[in-house]
Structure 1
Amino acid sequence: MTTPNEGRTAAPKQDRRSERARQAIIDSALDLCREQGLARTTVEEIAKRAGVGKQTIYRWWPSKVAVVEEGINELASTATDFPDTGDIVADLRTQMVGVATILSSPSFAPYLSLIGAAQDDPELARSFLDGLVKPRVAAARERLRRAGEQGQIRADVDLDDVVELLYGPIYYRALLHTRPPTPGQVDEILRLVFAGLAPA
């Protein structure tokens, strides 16, 4: 017969073991992607490096891509959040510099690998858009919508177009390796875009 205290501690210990395994799997998947790219990374390699069985991975994720997507989401979660100080330009700069910083960081190479792989894989493209891109586009649209209500940007603009104008140049540099995305680039983007966005 167990005491009440013993009953309460059994589940948390199991939870801690599960969380350690989950984090080891995510870290291993991201590390392997950084070393050799997404295409060459396998579930077998992830399991071996994480010290777990393949069945453990498949119990929690349907594929290696799902593991990498979850890892990228966790890495980018706070770096790409939108502040709301009441100044749309300042808030966009804070968030966009965060995006530029992570896209130029070697630790986020798996994210760029996902974008490349999605070009030839419609299922991956849908998963990538739904899990990583669309929530952040929605957050950008919402922040811009509030700025429009406050009279900080024109009311007649298409917010999807504005999001593409703001972030397209950053992704262009990151994906084509023309130049690294920088805070200075963000400042220039905002200067040019807000020349057209400012209310008359």
Structure 2
Amino acid sequence: MSQPTETPTPSRRGRPRDEQSRQAILDAAYALLLDQGLGRLTVEAVALQARVGKPTIYRYWANAQELAMAALLSRTPADAASGSSGSAVRDLKDQVADVVWAFATPRGRQITLTLAAAAPESEIAKAFRNQIILRSRETGRELLLRAARQGEVRLEQDIDTILDLIYGPIFYRLLAGHMPLSPGFSETIIEVLLSGIGPAQPPPPR
């Protein structure tokens, strides 16, 4: 007797279910952030709009403040660490520009004002540190390491200090408010940095 033929399982297309849920949460949080502002963004409201349970949200973010920070950055282009341009330095410039752009938006400026008035150990300050500063630095670290492998930079100095030099000026302008976060600021940061860690130039011909 012949064995029954097993029907192949069709391959799934699109994002995996977990990623679809995560994106739905970010979309809902961003919409609520735009419509109602940071003060009224709650995990309950996001769960209702995204049609997910609250435990699904808490799987990714500790509280509404962390979710708000992640939603703010979710409207920037895809993660630059994936290396879409081929040049790690170009991707680093784009990633830094994304951070600048996010906080130049009206809601970004509102969050900045809230941060300026918040205590260092408040939930909003912790969320900013976890979702913005640390996340940006880790993406930047991956890009710098890739740039070194590709010969675009020389990592002879401490990489954490280099990361401070990249992201420190953004957060300084953001919180001190002495100068604007202009569109060209991110490009200037990287260009100034590259004067110190760029690849060695060959000596001019004699």
Q: Shorter-normalised TM-score: what interval?
A: 0.5 to 0.7
Aligned-residue offset at 1:140: 0.8
Matched-pair contact (CA < 8 Å) for 2:153–2:199: yes
Which residue of 22, 25, 32 maps to 1:28? 32
Aligned residue number for residue 146 of structure 1? 146
Aligned residue number for residue 7 of structure 2? none
2:144 & 2:25 partners in 1: Cα distance? 40
2:152 & 2:168 partners in 1: Cα distance? 22
The aligned amino acid for 1:175 is L
Post-superposition Cα deviations, 1:119-168, rounded to whole Å, max 9, x if no partner, equal 43255544443344323311110110111122221131222211221222
| Structure 1 moving runs of 4+ over 6 Å | 19-22, 56-59
2:142 & 2:128 partners in 1: Cα distance? 21
The aligned amino acid for 2:163 is V
Post-superposition Cα deviations, 1:20-48, rounded to whole Å, max 9, x if no partner, equal 89965653345433xxxx5x5585xx85x
1:146 & 1:80 partners in 2: Cα distance? 14
- Cα 1:80–1:98 change in 2 (3 A) is farther
Aligned-residue offset at 1:196: 0.6
Matched-pair contact (CA < 8 Å) for 2:65–2:127: no
Matched-pair contact (CA < 8 Å) for 1:153–1:199: yes
Corresponding pairs, count: 172
Aligned residue number for residue 19 of structure 2? none
Aligned residue number for residue 129 of structure 1? 129
Post-superposition Cα deviations, 1:81-125, rounded to whole Å, max 9, x if no partner, equal 343534333222222222222221113235425644664325554
Aligned-residue offset at 1:65: 2.3
1:26 & 1:183 partners in 2: Cα distance? 22
Identity of aligned residues (%): 26
Matched-pair contact (CA < 8 Å) for 2:147–2:153: yes
Q: Which runs of 5+ in 2 are unaligned?
A: 1-22, 201-206
Aligned residue number for residue 3 of structure 1? none
